[in-house]
Amino acid sequence: MSPSTPSALDLATSVRSGERTAIDIVEESLAAIEALNPKLRAFLKVDGNGARQRAEELDAARQAGETLGPLAGVPIALKDNLCTRGLETTCGSRILEGYRPPYDATVVERLRGAGAVIVGKTNLDEFAMGSSTENSAFGPTSNPWDASRVPGGSSGGSAAAVAAGLVPVALGSDTGGSIRQPASLCGVVGLKPSYGRISRFGLVAFGSSLDQIGPLTSTVAEAAALFSVLAGPDPRDGTCDERPAPDSLAALEKRDVSRLRIGVPRAAFGAGVEASVTAACRASLDALSARGARLIDLDLDWSDLAIPTYYLVATSEASSNLARYDGVRYGSRAAGHEDLIGMITASRGAGFGPEVKRRILLGTYALSAGYYDAYYRKATQARALMGRQFAAAFEQVDVIATPTSPTPAFPIGEKSEDPLQMYLCDVFSVPANLVGLPGLSVPCGASADGLPIGLQLMARRFDETTLLQAGACLEDARPEPLGLPPIHRLAKGGAR
């Protein structure tokens, strides 16, 4: 949350009206990146020339009397697992270092069509596998609120870039919480839409039954605006639903907190959640209740099922999806091998980092003969069971609220040697992916030492409208926003 950063919606309005030029806005963003990125390491690649050229085209189009799109002149950062034609896309991996895709992802085409200006590609855990951005082969990103702490992950670069005001908005991807958790840890809004809402064409695949693309923004209104630009059918992604994108921004005006029924799973506010997180989330729910929302306690408890189910499904799918990195068609190839299998095995061994290897091994094991029934098949049954439990809960409530993450941002290095502890961070975020629901993280408070805390809301599949309305109600009800992250104050002199 950076109140000094103008909203993407205000920027677009000012560019469309001619009050400001796109090039002026883009130069501001590039200057802020130049000043702060050396400390944050949120961006892996900055496309200054491409961004300036696009901004000048937009300004020229306006001069010529053309009507510009809803995101006219808005600088945007993309997680580096979204394909951009001719612009390096690495997934934070050595195996894709230098890879320049021959095509744009559908979301990239839609953003360009709406007038957004892509300024660069952001850091992530390698192939989006992680909850801290420490698994990037190119080094970790820092949290703008405390540079010694992680920004969360895997979309940590995008979350940090928005929190520090380098760009007003960014895109991430979310397979098990990778938009919502870094949003929570950096104090910004993160939306994971329903499975099937947004085309994944051009998103480098991790877990295909789980992956979704979504926005990271300062406000719920900006998330709604981006969602409406990104959503909708795409013949190039067979899992993408046919229904058209709703006008979620307009729907926000119709929000009515007194009609909201919020389900509160008791188990999500109990053991294993840091006291500051429980307190901030409870306080924001009480504030919603004071404004007329109904809070309904739920017995829904996925604490034993969610992590094993998710990590078996996600790693199984990843072990298959990542088979394509074989040193043949793209990526790096190990030298000195005279047989094909030897070359493939060595290229993968040298090109993938430790967490990616760990997950490929786990997924391969879960799918292997003799273990398939006990692991992968059992996980798919538990997944169906969770679907039933959520469907029953949504008969009584409109949204379900939990903390987004059990803790605020943790120190860099604290969990990186203990993969299981890192996995357990995802307990509240993975159900939305397993069940296909939309999920939203909204800043709701801070810990005693000033680290942001987010509340997660989930809604029925394809009911992003109610989800975003509930998020906007939370923004109305919560205490004062967090103010500027320290990194912004530190380098402010340099940025201007």
Partner 1 sequence: MDIDRIAELSRLALTEAERARYAKDLDSILGHFERLQAADTSDVPPAVSAVALAPRERDDIPRESPPVDVLLEGAPARQDDLYEVPRVIAAE
Determine the Cα–Cα distance for residues 332 and 405; give it in Å rounded to an integer.
36
Closest distance to partner 1 from the beta carbon of 177 (Å): 15
Closest distance to partner 1 from the beta carbon of 40 (Å): 29
Active site residue 17: no
Determine the Cα–Cα distance for residues 365 and 368; give it in Å rounded to an integer.
5
Q: Give 75's DSSP letter.
A: E
b/e code 400-414 from CB counts within 10 Å (16+ = b):
bbbbbbbbbbbebee
Closest distance to partner 1 from the beta carbon of 307 (Å): 7
Q: Which is nearer to partner 1, 5 or 106 (CB)?
A: 106
Q: Which is nearer to partner 1, 87 or 382 (CB)?
A: 382
Q: Which is nearer to partner 1, 145 or 311 (CB)?
A: 311
- Exactly one of 93, 178, 199, 416 is catalytic; which is it? 178
Active site residue 79: yes
- Spatial neighbors of 382 by CB under 8 A, at least 6 apart, are 305, 308, 309
Q: Which is nearer to partner 1, 388 or 489 (CB)?
A: 388
Distances (CA, A) of 365 to 126, 354, 356, 419: 21, 16, 14, 17
Determine the Cα–Cα distance for residues 191 and 293; give it in Å rounded to an integer.
22
- Spatial neighbors of 109 by CB under 8 A, at least 6 apart, are none
- β-partners of residue 454 are 443
Closest distance to partner 1 from the beta carbon of 235 (Å): 5
Q: Are 414 and 404 in contact (CB under 8 A)?
A: no
- Exactly one of 79, 121, 192, 415 is catalytic; which is it? 79
Closest distance to partner 1 from the beta carbon of 128 (Å): 18
Q: Which is nearer to partner 1, 34 or 414 (CB)?
A: 414
User: How many other CB atoms are found less than 10 A from the CB of residue 483?
Assistant: 15
Q: Which is nearer to partner 1, 59 or 464 (CB)?
A: 464
Closest distance to partner 1 from the beta carbon of 365 (Å): 5
Strands 399-403 and 261-265: parallel
233: exposed, middle or buried (C-beta count within 10 Å: 0-12, 13-18, 19+)?
Answer: middle
Q: Which is nearer to partner 1, 268 or 293 (CB)?
A: 268
Closest distance to partner 1 from the beta carbon of 370 (Å): 10
> Cis before residue 154, ω within 30 degrees of 0?
yes
Closest distance to partner 1 from the beta carbon of 258 (Å): 31
Q: Which is nearer to partner 1, 158 or 389 (CB)?
A: 389
Strands (E), 47-101: 75-79
Closest distance to partner 1 from the beta carbon of 103 (Å): 6
Determine the Cα–Cα distance for residues 305 and 181; give it in Å rounded to an integer.
19
Distances (CA, A) of 462 to 162, 193, 197, 402, 487: 26, 8, 7, 19, 37
b/e code 264-298 from CB counts within 10 Å (16+ = b):
bbebbbeeebbebbbbbbbbbbebbbeeebbbeeb
Angle at Cα 463 formed by Cα 461 and Cα 464, nearest 5°? 110
Determine the Cα–Cα distance for residues 175 and 210; give it in Å rounded to an integer.
5
Q: Which is nearer to partner 1, 48 or 372 (CB)?
A: 372
Q: Which is nearer to partner 1, 87 or 307 (CB)?
A: 307
Q: What are the backbone dihedrals phi and psi of residue 44, each rounded to the nearest 5 degrees, phi first?
A: -90, -30
- Exactly one of 2, 131, 132, 154 is catalytic; which is it? 154
Q: Are 195 and 163 in contact (CB under 8 A)?
A: no
Q: Which of 439, 442, 443 is nearest to 177 (CA)?
A: 439
Q: Give 43's DSSP letter.
A: E
223: amino acid identity, one letter: A
The residues assigned a catalytic role are 79, 154, 178
